[in-house]
Amino acid sequence: MPDKPSISLVVVTYNRGDALREALNSLLSMPAYPDYNFEIVIIDNGSTDHTPKVAQDASESGPYTVSYFLEQRPGIACARNRGVKESKGAWIAFFDDDQLATKDWLVHLVQACRSDHVRYAGGGCILKYNQLDPPQFDRFSRQMLGEFLVSTPTPYHYHFLPATGNVLIEKALFDEFGKFDESMHHGGEDTEWFTRLVLANIPGRHVTESHILHVIPPHRTDSKYIEYVARRSGSILAYRDRKYRGIPTTRFLGILRLVRSFTICTLQRTVAKLMRNRATEVGTTSKIQRDFAYARTAWSNEATIRKLAIQNAHRGK
């Protein structure tokens, strides 16, 4: 990494004008640092609300350069690829429209890439509920809502990959390993792309000091939403395993997951119900949903997988 790298902060958005305004305000409030300079690149994935006006206001009022691009092809992978294309920086930092930046999240990522000579680095995510008395959740449910907390500076590997909402990537990696898979309309395109890097032994690591805030609106604290995210997660993991581990191995892993669900998870859920432990009940139910979705994707044909992908699309949720 050069002494003062140029960084493009890519923000993908769809019909979340109010949330986008808060996200952009948090980015525009970040202090300037001598270690790098950055621009903000907004990719609107076909919004029908006031998103263009929010982007225009940010470009006119902020201290940093803000660019806006409309990407009509639906799907976050298409939007992320457009962000890579339009970015002028040699490094790209992805940021979601339902997040809030802390003042030094990017500083720590830059320092890690420079000091450890890694080509990508990611940080953690802390949940920020925007309701006064949110339900209590167990660790698994919080992870499904986007919580990502790791206390040690761990190198990335097949089972541990960065969260795209808090990651810094050398742009040249997209030339070397291609774009995000635009066939993955249901999400998980980031997991699949980072898998390419770890299988090619491209160095990257988690930075414990870097955190962003993930805003959780009330509807996402409903147990049905968490179960939906868990099913989506299971399908994404199975899709990736089919591609990189092969269908036989993925189907075997699917059987193991079903065995776990019918034994350990079912027992845990039963005990939780008896003890009236709602947090554990929601968490174990969601684990079962994820395992079933993994197994279903593992044993499905390609046509069924595409149908499941459409059902599990996260667009605008």
The tens digit of pLDDT for each residue in 186-238 reads 688 999 999 999 999 999 999 999 999 999 999 999 999 999 999 999 999 99
pLDDT of 316 strictly over 70: no
Residue type at 43?
I
pLDDT at position 211: 96
- Strand, helix or coil for residue 40: strand
Kind and range of the H or E run holding 215:
strand 204-216
Helix axes 302-311, 223-244, angle to 10 degrees: 150
pLDDT at position 309: 60
Q: Name the one residue in this structure whose structure tokens are 């034994």.
A: 263
pLDDT at position 35: 81
pLDDT class for 242, splitting at 50, 70, 90? very high
pLDDT class for 5, splitting at 50, 70, 90? confident
What would the mean pLDDT of 150-177 be, rounded to a whole number?
A: 95
pLDDT of 315 strictly over 60: no
Instruction: Name which of 186, 164, 215 is nearest 314 in CA terms.
Output: 186
Instruction: Name which of 299, 154, 282, 316 is nearest 234 in CA terms.
Output: 299
Interatomic CA distance for residues 124 and 122, integer angstroms: 7
Residues in CB range of 96: below 8 A, 6 or more apart: 11, 12, 23, 164, 165, 214
Q: For residues 32 and 97, which has the higher predicted lDDT (pLDDT)? A: 97
Domain 6-220 is of which CATH architecture? Alpha-Beta Complex (3.90)
Cα angle value 20/164/257 (rounded, 5°): 120
Q: What is the DSSP-derived secondary structure letter of residue 315?
A: T
| Chain centroid offset of residue 76 CA | 11
pLDDT at position 310: 61
Mean pLDDT of the chain: 93
pLDDT digits (tens, 9 = 90+) for 141-163: 999 999 999 989 899 999 999 98
pTM: 0.92
Residues in CB range of 164: below 8 A, 6 or more apart: 80, 94, 96, 190
Instruction: Name which of 60, 54, 63, 59 is nearest 22 in CA terms.
Output: 54
